[in-house]
Structure 1
Amino acid sequence: MPANWDIRPERYDMADATALRRDYYDDVASRYWRRPATAAEIDEGLAHDGVEALTPPTGQFLVGRFDGKPAACGGVLLLDAERAELTRVFVRHAFRGTGGAPLLLAALEAAALELGARRMVLNTRLDLVEARALYTRHGYAEIPAYCEGPYMEIWYGKELAAT
């Protein structure tokens, strides 16, 4: 891992993790609504979002720091004995282009393997083109829908290789 990036597990309710989760939700909600999300809308979106499951043994939440500054986050959630779901993958705009996204993705895949998963799946929206490009660049292929919801438009999957 490049010296300026450090990605490791962190509790989802720690200050840096919470700030990153707020920025993630602000980014995806504002893009969806095509207007800035309000603080109240962000609070509502984060309330009861199931993030507490992103702790072992059911999942893991990671925070990435660039030169010590909180810059990225993501989670994996075990869906069953074989599959983990990639969720809340986010790199703050100021840190995009620094090589953190592929490192975060690799760290999340390693976390899923440690939890016992052999396959990673995810769902996203069509307008999140940067995320979709990241996933396909790193071996994710479109799969049939494995879940449904109002913000799910495309699904991806990847077999994880144990190292």
Structure 2
Amino acid sequence: MVLRGRPADRPEAGRMSAADQVRTWTFAPEAYDTPVASALRRTYYDDVASSYWGRPATTAEVDSGLTNDGVELLTPPTGQFLVARYGGEPVGCGGVLLLDEGRAELTRVFLLPEFRGKGGASALLGSLEDAARALGATRMVLNTRLDLVEARALYTRHGYAEIPAYCSGPYMEIWYGKDLVAAAAV
């Protein structure tokens, strides 16, 4: 999927360099185990684990976190994994996982830090919502940590509202949900 509209037409364009304004964001399904997807998943886990622990995660900790993490479910018909590219360069990822009939979970949403603030996070979120709809979901849910302030702001800016916990785990502190049917009609 290509982000529609010229970068200069988006609010984030004021923060972009001239070179950034001619680049294009694309979001496409990719197998979770390709070299590109695997590298992005490692970087994602390293980023969130390091911020949680307040120190760089070790290679062993990243390996342990990725072991049996259920990423194989992010393939149709149970889910979808997307890679975000900026000017053709892989710079982010995200996934959706069907939890039950009509409900999908947003997971592993990530952009490399140097590519944040260029309009990609909003576009990636929209592409993941489209992927969830294509899988039959009518509602998206997610869980995150309270310290991930920027991620929480992204979700609420795009219509996600706090909901009761639908799952539990050591890194789950707040839960959000959004009706995808109503969002698509806007």
Cα deviation 1:123-152 (Å, max 9, x = unaligned): 000001110000000000000000011100
Question: Which aligned segments of 4 or more residues in structure 1 are displaced greater than 4 angstroms?
Answer: none
Which amino acid in 2 is paired with 1:92? L
Which amino acid in 1 is paired with 2:50? S
Q: Which residue of 1 aligns with 2:107?
A: 87
What's the CA shift for 1:37? 0.2
Cα deviation 1:36-57 (Å, max 9, x = unaligned): 0011110110011000000000
What's the CA shift for 1:34? 0.5
Cα deviation 1:102-133 (Å, max 9, x = unaligned): 00000000000000000000000000111000
Structure 2: tracts of 5 or more residues without a match: 5-22
Which amino acid in 1 is paired with 2:142? L
Q: Which residue of 2 aligns with 1:154?
A: 174
1:22 alignment partner, SS class = helix
Cα distance between partner residues in 1 of 2:87 and 2:60:
31
Q: Which residue of 2 aligns with 1:112?
A: 132
Percentage of pairs with the same residue: 72
The CA RMSD measured in Å over matched residues stands at: 0.9
Cα deviation 1:9-63 (Å, max 9, x = unaligned): 0000011111110110001000111000011110110011000000000000000
Q: Which residue of 2 aligns with 1:47?
A: 67
Residue-pair matches, total: 163
Match of residue 125, structure 1, among 145, 168, 175: 145
Q: Which residue of 2 aligns with 1:6?
A: 26
Larger Rg: 2
1:116 alignment partner, SS class = coil
2:100 alignment partner, SS class = coil
Cα distance between partner residues in 2 of 1:18 and 1:104:
18
Cα distance between partner residues in 2 of 1:88 and 1:40:
19
Cα deviation 1:49-83 (Å, max 9, x = unaligned): 00000000000000000011111100000000010
Which amino acid in 1 is paired with 2:54? R
Is structure 2 residue 137 aligned with structure 1 residue 137?
A: no
Q: Which residue of 1 aligns with 2:81?
A: 61
- Structure (1/2) with the larger helix percentage: 2
Which amino acid in 2 is paired with 1:12? Y
Structure 1: tracts of 5 or more residues without a match: none
TM-score by length of 1: 0.98
